[in-house]
Structure 1
């Protein structure tokens, strides 16, 4: 599949419909012509600041227009963007910068202290400040922009389908984050799928409230909005009342909405503010909530999905014709994608039979950055092994049964139990630990740790939690810590997490 640089789409829209609104960030607004010109200016500033084609460029910032413009400028000059999760601890950030080989960091004022730490630890070649606070004598982007000649044009770097566009780091199921590679071919396939499945048009105004370091912020439909000629509305808040206000003010037509935000909007009685929406994309909302949303917003298409970062966002979307008939299903594969259910012998199973979900197609990432072993372990005969359990009904619709048991989904974030266990095990006095996800009405799941103390250890729950806070992002810190005398084991001595889960949920998982 032949593809072009992502930013050539922006250039084309600027030529065809330059006066149409492309981007909204609060009171700031850009037409397509203005946005394309600003991407040129930022691209020239990055080049002047020492950024080179094929550099890996880390971005540490919130959902602001400047962040999105820089993402596009990085693509225009042919560098590779690495959006960084600003919720992570400095230890975690340093490891990612080192593992990725990031040489350049762009950062907001809010994260200048973090940038200074990373500049010292990670051996960055240059760090460029979005705002006023600089690090290590490196320049501000505004100073570089001031030197850019008026009307500058930077040609779009030529890119092919296998060229690397970005890295997105996800916790996955191992003790360290993994850099998921997204190629230009992955991005093109995803944008085509989004355009067709969500029926995007120039009239669409798509809200991005999910963080731009997250695949759901970037690609659901995210940047595909530009391919349709629509408008992206940026929002950095997670507060239900503020999101409802933005949707109403900007007459948003579509968005991804996390379950806890949807609950908040419903609790506030502000569903009328969502009257402009024609589709709502989500995953993991209970059928009772789904039916209530449909009652309040009968015009809204409710799009259940199945996907992950390794699949460049969604692999399956529920179509409008069957959303009521098949409540609970996650749809059928998007264009250029295939999905099967296989048994333990990797044989395809019959409709209605549970097995592992495997996927192949143009949206599947080529693998994990600098991690050939993990990449190989996740592939077989050209298929990506999700590790998730599900089944297909007789009509080919996917029904999800269970997630990978060692991966906690908490408020839209992945928490690897092995990572939390590694941090806890490093604390003096901890003999052994097991971490599982336990149900939570707002966050879907939260971590819970079962800690076996060494003999004579003088540790309590507060000390253990303080240790976690010093080394982990807050959302990864166990909400509950149980000090136990023993952990359940099988005959070979392996800890039986399924028993721990059964004790918490009232049944085995």
Structure 2
């Protein structure tokens, strides 16, 4: 028996009275969590969920989210965590493309849930008469949970290694997101790797502040904490000060932090007054060396772990080990267990140490492909390797040194944003002839999108109108922070736009229109 459902079954016997999950003032022991999962699994069956069905979750981080993820696995269905920051139109696309059969949603996202069309759904929380009515065909989850208390017990679904456990939609190099498949075996391999790499034990209390719709919230170490017998501390996504306060109160031993959260924490004038003596590791990525040194100065007892990972790799492929934190500063470390990594030259052959090439990965942690997208799968999975499109080198000791992001991805506030997706939306504006989007540095969000817009002949458009158009079609974090109207776009001999010239320090080929 694999799968996260089987993990909890085993721990509910071995560690029945130990605390498994913390959400605010509420606590669940392993035995209590297992019983809660049984109730939710029964409720899912009452809602018509069967093995192989895809169940979407549209919610902030809370205990019910964790329970639902495990319950979906227990009935043999497939979970699809939805990014609640997406526009309703984007949510509609994902649900339709994936073939979702049921949606579990927070009440606050009722309007966004309308984007799911006519799909049946369950809403967290009671159905209050004074509140906005639920979408047609939707029910309050509490009602089904009460019915589930008297439901006949059912055997757990089989969870084979190659069985699909979840799908995570992530922005890619195309104009539409792709659904990355994670099998039970992928998740198992990642969780064992996390336990070994982070030296997790039943004494660990790891905080999940990254969203559970993101692989870093789910798997870094995320649910691996339960496999280790430790305690997951859930937060709905606080700022730096709130994370520090909660970490001190709960004796948190491990954190996974985005760059902007680290900046917020370093700005805290009272950071030293919070007791973080239990904290032993922080996992991060894309943090400048100067910031790492500042974190070390503030928290000298904490292991700082730089990483390289992707959703397609079920989180991290490389972690920096404790012994080389400073002698290899700037590196992303060496491969995790169940991961084989190669740097490939232009002809696909292994590159020599110190030579920049494409990162290829294979192993038990690597996704089998993209859901309902055989063309994209065939393009990225070739000759037994997943081709990341990212550039890096390795040194003589096998440490990875990342060079550049793949394609034209923009990394903003911990989210991957595809420039092509923004370009597709802006190009639909009647006054826009052509558009190119790049990422530009931002002190808080690492990068933010900037759009270079070539207006149609005789048309007039300004930044405010372009921004309003984006707001009707894109999640807020994907909307360009800057718009620049241009008379032309730089191109090569074949007509392809040269985005590297747009990102240069030279003068822009037009007039600025920043929103």
Match of 2:111 among 88, 113, 117: 113
Distance of aligned partners of 1:90 and 1:433 in 2 relative to their CA distance in 1, 3 Å threshold: same
Query: Which whole-Å CA distance do the structure 2 matches of 1:439 and 1:296 have between them?
Result: 25
Contact kept, 8 Å, 1:260 with 1:411, in 2: the verdict is yes
Contact kept, 8 Å, 1:337 with 1:360, in 2: the verdict is yes
- Superposition deviation, residue 13 in structure 1: 1.0
Query: Which whole-Å CA distance do the structure 2 matches of 1:490 and 1:204 have between them?
Result: 54
Q: CA RMSD in A?
A: 1.5
Distance of aligned partners of 1:505 and 1:226 in 2 relative to their CA distance in 1, 3 Å threshold: farther
Which residue is 1:128 aligned to? 122
Contact kept, 8 Å, 2:3 with 2:188, in 1: the verdict is no
Query: Which whole-Å CA distance do the structure 1 matches of 2:270 and 2:411 have between them?
Result: 27
Query: Which whole-Å CA distance do the structure 1 matches of 2:338 and 2:507 have between them?
Result: 38
- Superposition deviation, residue 151 in structure 1: 9.5
- Where structure 1 has 5 or more consecutive residues not aligned to the other structure, the ranges are none
Superposition map of 1:459-470 within 5 A? 459-470=461-472
Which residue is 1:221 aligned to? 221
Which residue is 2:336 aligned to? 334
Contact kept, 8 Å, 1:360 with 1:384, in 2: the verdict is yes
Match of 2:36 among 38, 54, 74: 38
Contact kept, 8 Å, 2:3 with 2:185, in 1: the verdict is no
Contact kept, 8 Å, 1:173 with 1:406, in 2: the verdict is yes
Which residue is 1:230 aligned to? 230
Query: Which whole-Å CA distance do the structure 2 matches of 1:5 and 1:405 have between them?
Result: 33
Which residue is 1:478 aligned to? 480
Contact kept, 8 Å, 2:91 with 2:115, in 1: the verdict is no
Superposition map of 1:263-282 within 5 A? 263-272=263-272, 273=274, 274-282=276-284
Contact kept, 8 Å, 2:393 with 2:400, in 1: the verdict is yes
Which residue is 2:96 aligned to? 98
Superposition map of 1:142-221 within 5 A? 142-149=142-149, 153-221=153-221
Write out per-residue CA displacement over residues 29-85 of structure 1, whole angstroms, 9 at most, x where no aligned residue: 101110001000111111112111111001100001111111111110100000000
Which residue is 1:4 aligned to? 2
SS in 2 for 1:110: helix
Superposition map of 1:374-385 within 5 A? 374-385=376-387
Contact kept, 8 Å, 1:342 with 1:357, in 2: the verdict is yes
Q: Which moved more, 1:130-139 or 1:473-482?
A: 130-139
Distance of aligned partners of 1:244 and 1:504 in 2 relative to their CA distance in 1, 3 Å threshold: farther
Write out per-residue CA displacement over residues 240-266 of structure 1, whole angstroms, 9 at most, x where no aligned residue: 111111111101000101111111111
Distance of aligned partners of 1:427 and 1:151 in 2 relative to their CA distance in 1, 3 Å threshold: closer
Query: Which whole-Å CA distance do the structure 2 matches of 1:300 and 1:261 have between them?
Result: 16
Which residue is 2:261 aligned to? 261
- Superposition deviation, residue 154 in structure 1: 4.2
Which residue is 2:513 aligned to? none
Contact kept, 8 Å, 1:41 with 1:152, in 2: the verdict is no
- Superposition deviation, residue 490 in structure 1: 1.0
Superposition map of 1:340-355 within 5 A? 340-355=342-357
Contact kept, 8 Å, 1:451 with 1:484, in 2: the verdict is yes
Which residue is 2:288 aligned to? 286
Which residue is 2:71 aligned to? 73
Contact kept, 8 Å, 1:129 with 1:135, in 2: the verdict is no
Aligned residues: 500
Are positions 1:246 and 2:246 aligned together? Answer: yes
Contact kept, 8 Å, 1:408 with 1:447, in 2: the verdict is yes
- Where structure 2 has 5 or more consecutive residues not aligned to the other structure, the ranges are 128-133, 509-515
SS in 1 for 2:331: coil
Q: Which moved more, 1:29-38 or 1:273-282?
A: 273-282
- Superposition deviation, residue 457 in structure 1: 0.8
Query: Which whole-Å CA distance do the structure 1 matches of 2:115 and 2:294 have between them?
Result: 47
Q: Which moved more, 1:156-165 or 1:366-375?
A: 156-165
- Superposition deviation, residue 128 in structure 1: 1.1
Match of 2:455 among 449, 453, 456: 453
Which residue is 1:56 aligned to? 54
Which residue is 1:29 aligned to? 27
- Superposition deviation, residue 399 in structure 1: 0.4
Distance of aligned partners of 1:270 and 1:8 in 2 relative to their CA distance in 1, 3 Å threshold: farther
Query: Which whole-Å CA distance do the structure 2 matches of 1:144 and 1:390 have between them?
Result: 51
Contact kept, 8 Å, 2:318 with 2:336, in 1: the verdict is yes
Distance of aligned partners of 1:314 and 1:270 in 2 relative to their CA distance in 1, 3 Å threshold: farther
Query: Which whole-Å CA distance do the structure 2 matches of 1:157 and 1:346 have between them?
Result: 41
Query: Which whole-Å CA distance do the structure 1 matches of 2:395 and 2:507 have between them?
Result: 27
Contact kept, 8 Å, 1:5 with 1:156, in 2: the verdict is no
- Superposition deviation, residue 405 in structure 1: 3.5
Which residue is 1:138 aligned to? 138
Q: When the two structures are superposed, what TM-score results if normalisation uses the length of structure 1?
A: 0.96
- Superposition deviation, residue 293 in structure 1: 1.3
